[in-house]
Amino acid sequence: MNVETPVEALKPNDYASDQEVRWCPGCGDYAIIKGVHRTLAELQIPLEKLVFFSGIGCAARFPYYMASYGFHTIHGRAPALATGAKLANPDLDIWVVMGDGDALSIGGNHTMHAIRRNVDLNLLLFNNEIYGLTKGQYSPTSQLGTRSPSTPQGSIDAPLTPLSLALGANARFVARTFDTNQKHMPGVLKAAHAHKGASLVEIIQNCIVYNDGAFDGWTDKKVVSDNSIMVEHGKPLIFGADENKGIAMAEDGFGIRVVTIGEDGITEDDVLVHDEQNKMLAMMLADMKQPEFPVALGVLFNNPAKAYDEAVHEQLAEVKEKTPAGTVNEMLRKGRTWTVSEGA
């Protein structure tokens, strides 16, 4: 019998580099990197196969703190670089770390198209609703009225909802979690990793310096059960500290509403069951906002289609089979040529 020597299992810490982490003490990024280390250890991804791309911003320092391959690129462009790398070597396990300004403002175009093409990338969007690295300006996800150095009277342009945008771009996988929710995060990240194609995970992240407490209204331990909902495929959309609230169809059939089980004749049967392949439901869940609704967490949509990189390589293989390459000299001599002989 052949006994395989077990390779020593990688521990969460093995995914951390030897570089000193330089986020502000108390920054949500610390929790996120911990969650990522744990997830990678659970998946046992070999370090040499793993690549982290990032753009610019606090979140973008992430690759330097990983023991894997990493590329800290330029503002907003990480999805484009990652797309090239994935097409060049589909065996790589590629993760892209982006901030909200990075992914949705300067890099909005690249985020949208990486999602639309369905490139097999794990896109982690750290959303803290502020620009941290450049010292606190409002971002495209900042709530209306956000006071910042560039909006001293309060911001007056409406924020966008990242997961709604992604679904609008035909995302095949969108999920949401938050920094301190360490129980929840690895499961979401593992689902994103298992999904072949572009997987967008919005990770709500507290910026302790410039936007502290922006999400306390629904992430704080005291309120999280009442003001957020963990969605799970095949399970009823029930939430609340007493587990008596649910998401049901609106009475007119257009949209959804929050109901209380046991009130107004509502029973558990009236509560919708989460179906991660239902795009309409995903769009409604993605758009749920405080205070009317709980914020939806978990895998909101997961409906795989062929990954772009896979399709590209299939086409390449097909062409190679149909038209074998030959040498460069043969390439140069294909088509019409003529020969001039000596003394002609």
Partner 1 sequence: MATNVASSGDGNRKALDSVVIRFAGDSGDGMQLTGTQFTQSTALMGNDLATFPDFPAEIRAPAGTTFGVSAFQINFASYDIQTPGDDPDVLVAMNPAALKVHLKDVPKGGTIILNVDAFTDRNIARAGYEENPLEDGTLDNHVVIAIEINKLTNAAVAECDVTSKEATRCKNFWALGLMCWMYNRDRQPTVDWVNQRFGKLPNIAAANIAALNAGHAYGETVELPSGVEAYLVPKADVQPGTYRAVTGTEAVAWGLVAGAKKAGLEIFLGSYPITPASALLHTLTGLKQYGVTTFQAEDEIAAVCSAIGAAYAGSLGITSSSGPGIALKTEAIGLALVTELPLVVVNVQRGGPSTGLPTKTEQSDLFQAVYGRNADTPLPVVASRTAGDCFETAIEAVRLATKYMTPVILLTDGFLANSAEPWEIPDADAIADFPVKFRTDPEGFHPYLRDEKTLARNWAIPGTPGLMHRIGGIEKDYDSGHISYDSDNHHRMTKVRAAKIDGIADDIPAQDVATGEHRGELAVVGWGSTFGAINQAVGRCVKDGLSVSHIHLRHIHPFPKNLDDLLSGFEKVMVPEMNNGQLVHVLRDKFLVDAESITQITGQPFKVSTLEREIRSRVEG
Which residues contact partner 1 (rule: CB under 8 A)?
17, 19, 46-49, 51, 53, 56, 63-64, 66-74, 77, 80-89, 91-92, 109-110, 112-113, 312, 315-316, 319-320, 323-325, 327-329, 331-333, 335-344
Q: Is 21 in the site for ligand SF4 (CB under 6 A)?
A: no
Cβ atoms of residues 196 and 250 within 8 Å: no
The answer to whether residue 166 forms part of the interface with ligand SF4 (CB under 6 A) is no
Kindly tell me which residue out of 53, 62, 210, 239 binds ligand SF4, with binding defined by CB under 6 A: 210
Nearer to partner 1, 72 or 196 (CB): 72
In this chain, which of 10, 15, 29, 51 binds ligand SF4, going by CB under 6 A? 29
Alpha-carbon distance 114 to 80, whole Å?
7
Which of ligand SF4, partner 1, none binds 333 (CB below 5-8 Å, type-dependent)? partner 1
Residue 289: name its binding partner from partner 1, ligand SF4, none (Cβ under 5 to 8 Å by kind): none
Tell me if 218 sits within 8 A of 141, measured CB to CB. Answer: no
Q: CA–CA separation, 285 vs 258, rounded Å?
A: 12
The token pair at 126 is: 């750290």
Task: Identify what 58 binds: ligand SF4, partner 1, none; CB under 5 to 8 Å per kind.
Answer: ligand SF4
For 8-161, where are the alpha helices, taking DSSP H only? 28-43, 78-88, 100-101, 108-117
What is the DSSP-derived secondary structure letter of residue 288? -
Shortest separation between residue 83's beta carbon and partner 1, angstroms: 5
Nearer to ligand SF4, 23 or 178 (CB): 23
Q: DSSP per residue over 230-256, as a string?
A: EE-TTSB-EESTTS-EEEEE-TTSSSE
Q: In whole angstroms, give the CA distance from residue 182 to residue 171.
A: 25
Sort strands 295-302 and 228-231 into parallel, antiparallel or unpaired: parallel
**295 bridge partner residues:** 228
**Residue 210 contacts which entry, ligand SF4, partner 1, none (Cβ below 5-8 A, type-dependent):** ligand SF4
30 or 69: whose CB is closer to partner 1? 69
Q: Which residue in 10, 27, 32, 174 binds ligand SF4 (CB under 6 A)?
A: 27
Alpha-carbon gap, residue 185 to 229, rounded angstroms: 14
Q: Which two tokens stand for residue 274?
A: 């989460």
179 interacts with ligand SF4 by CB under 6 A: no
Q: Is 283 in the site for ligand SF4 (CB under 6 A)?
A: no
Count of residues near ligand SF4 by CB under 6 A: 11
Amino acid at 76: G
- C-beta closer to ligand SF4: residue 53 or 210: 210
Nearest distance, CB of residue 235 and partner 1, angstroms? 37
Q: What is the DSSP string of 191-209?
A: HHHHSSS-EEEEEE---TT
Does residue number 43 form part of the binding site for ligand SF4 (CB under 6 A)?
A: no
Nearest CA-CA partner of 111 in 159, 79, 71:
79
Among 39, 54, 111, 128, binds ligand SF4 (CB under 6 A): 128
Q: Return residues touching ligand SF4 (CB under 6 A).
A: 23-24, 27, 29, 58, 128, 132, 207-210
